[in-house]
Chain A
Amino acid sequence: MLGREEWLPLARKLDWDYSYVREDEVFPEVISGRPWLPHSEWKDWEESFKTSYREYVDNQYEKDMAVQAVHDAVGRIENVQKLALPWLNSLKVHAAALPLAEFTGVIGNLRGARFGRDSAWRTMATFGALDEYRHTQIPLLLFHPLLRLDSQFDWAHKFYHTNNWFAVAARHFFDELTVGQNAIEFHIATNVVLETGFTNLQFVGLASLARESSDHMFERMVTSIQTDEARHAQIGHPVLATVMKHDPKYAQYLIDKWFWRNWRLFSILTGLSIDYLTAPDQRPYSFKEFMEEWIIDQFLRTLDELGLEKPWYWEILMDELDIYHHMIYASAYSYRTTLWFNFVMPGPAERKWLRQKYPKYWDDMDAVWEQISERWRTIGPGAENELAVHGTAMPTFCDLCQLPLSAGTPRKNTARVLVHDGRKYIFCSEPCQWIFLHEPERYANHKDVVKRVLSGEAPAQLPNLLTEYFNLTPETWGKDVHNGDYEWLGARKDSAA
């Protein structure tokens, strides 16, 4: 029997010439991706961390046992009940957004496992698919039982099966990234951009916030997932290097497009958790500080190593670091019944911290929070008053990212209308429009929530939209965590009187 060092190179590099079919029939461009190149151009594809199936299974078993042990020790409902309310709602965001998104990663990796252009790449993608299946099962195992504590945790399973506006946006992103993607674009977009770049937000940033928030279960879960990501993320770099060699313009486009698309999603997913859904004394840094240190600097180094340029929209992105997720949070707070988790209103201490961290535009955001606070003061706290401190008109959405038209600043929203092939579209920002115009055939037929309402596909009245289309109920839709009952609201009113 062959030893490991003899068997592994033989097993992971097992390619042959086809005699009965052409190579481009085995690996059609439409599903393997472009540029289409003969295998001779891919044969040197190498992953830096090599593993056998047996080693993979042994390692994963150990990791799963470690997660299970932490779950048994600190993951029970009574442990979760001790967590701060805002953080508990950050968990609900991730409980919904994470598991089935990871499952789409199974599909993307399986496409690489069949249509990747070298056998070593296909082997690694097979492990990647198994990883992503694990990343589906672990959060479902940990989060869905919390349904007994709080019915909003039902969205761990439910989220992606609804037409909730955020689910529409997340599906639009993940369907393109993983489910309907060719192998080359999938591995560049997922491994290089999302996993090498943005998941540090989750695995380093949120893990440390979880530790600060005494949520050791969440911390253990994401750090365990990170160990898999670190391995399968290496698939993308040699793929990108080959695309760079043969079509550098296309490589640059893929990086630019996917960095922007990832930024949009993660600025909401992680930005809100760091800057709003964590108690101020448990925030070691702001979302912007974390982005600058862990994402921006590292991403620029990676681009430099690969001979790529900074995306053309870099100045727009840098400006958005100061404002975009704040615009989204204030908008989402005022339409909180459209989501499945609860919101906290930033009080004077939080707003002071936010002003210190985000001085550039905070005056404008502070005016918004003061206005919302004033409504609570006028109406008075209480669950029965939630809808009196809530938006009434329909918010609007971008035809590319499907997220609210909340880009730019309160002084100047950057939304732009475009007429394309006789149809009118609106985009939140120049980069979203730029992506659309590069591949209109991919995006043009998708309807955002507003267009669905206007065409009669979705109900126009908010209560019907919430219950019939967004699959929410009065019990599960989002509320203010304190129903507007903040000590500081009363104190401010008394002192003003």
Chain B
Amino acid sequence: MPVPLYGFLQGDTVGLLILAEEAETLQALARKLQDAASLRVAARDPVRVVCNDKTMDLTMTVAQAGLQALDRFDVLAG
């Protein structure tokens, strides 16, 4: 089941709804948000993913990171 998340990309003007897969990595999740916001924000590399004020390991999956439906995650310039 996809997990709907609130994604906030640093540099963007609005939060976006991102449908994540539990098994996808945070790296892939970050890329998904960057693609979704690419009209307004140029892609950056590297990036960091922050959940609940903690910088996460990008190799973790969405499930391992404890992200649940309607949680917030942030993608920041690394």
Contact = CB atoms under 8 A, between A and B. Distances in A.
A327 interface: yes
A327 B14 contact: yes
A393 B72 contact: no
Interface in B28-77: 36-42, 69-72, 74
A364, A396, A410: which has the most chain B beta carbons within 10 Å? A396
Interface stretch (A90-98, A367-375, A479-487): A367-375
Contacts of A367: 11, 41-42
A384 B56 CA distance: 41
Nearest to A410: B11
Nearest to A394: B17
Interface string A383-424: 000000111111110000000111000111101110000001
Contacts of A426: 6, 15, 70, 72
B70 A417 contact: yes
Interface residues of B, number: 24
B14 A371 contact: no
Contact of B40 (A368, A416, A417, A424): A368
A426 B40 CA distance: 23
A351 B9 CA distance: 23
A371 B41 contact: yes
A136 interface: no
Contact of B16 (A396, A416, A454): A396
A242 interface: no
A27 B69 CA distance: 45
A450 interface: yes
A410 B39 contact: no
Closest 4 CB pairs of A and B: A393-B36, A405-B15, A331-B14, A394-B17
Interface of B: 4, 6, 8, 10-18, 36-42, 69-72, 74
Contacts of A390: 39
Nearest to A451: B70
A334 interface: yes
A404 B6 CA distance: 12
Contacts of A417: 6, 70-72
Contacts of A225: none
Contacts of B4: 450, 454
B10 A411 contact: yes
Contacts of A394: 16-17
Given A405-B14, A424-B69, A426-B70, A415 B8 contact: yes
B49 to A, nearest CB: 15
B43 to A, nearest CB: 10
Nearest to A416: B72
A396 B13 contact: no
A446 to B, nearest CB: 15
Nearest to B32: A393
Interface in A414-449: 415-417, 424, 426
A371 B13 contact: no
A404 B13 CA distance: 9
A487 to B, nearest CB: 22
Contacts of B15: 395-396, 404-406, 413, 415, 426
A411 B8 CA distance: 10
Contact of A410 (B10, B16, B38, B71): B10
B36 A406 contact: no
A388 to B, nearest CB: 9
A371 B17 contact: no
Contact of B70 (A331, A392, A395, A424): A424
Contacts of A411: 10-11
B39 A389 contact: yes
Given A334-B39, A371-B39, A415-B6, A393 B71 contact: no
Contacts of B40: 330-331, 334, 368, 371-372, 391
A371 B42 contact: yes
Contacts of B38: 371
Nearest to A392: B36
Contacts of A371: 38-42
A411 B6 CA distance: 16
A328 to B, nearest CB: 8
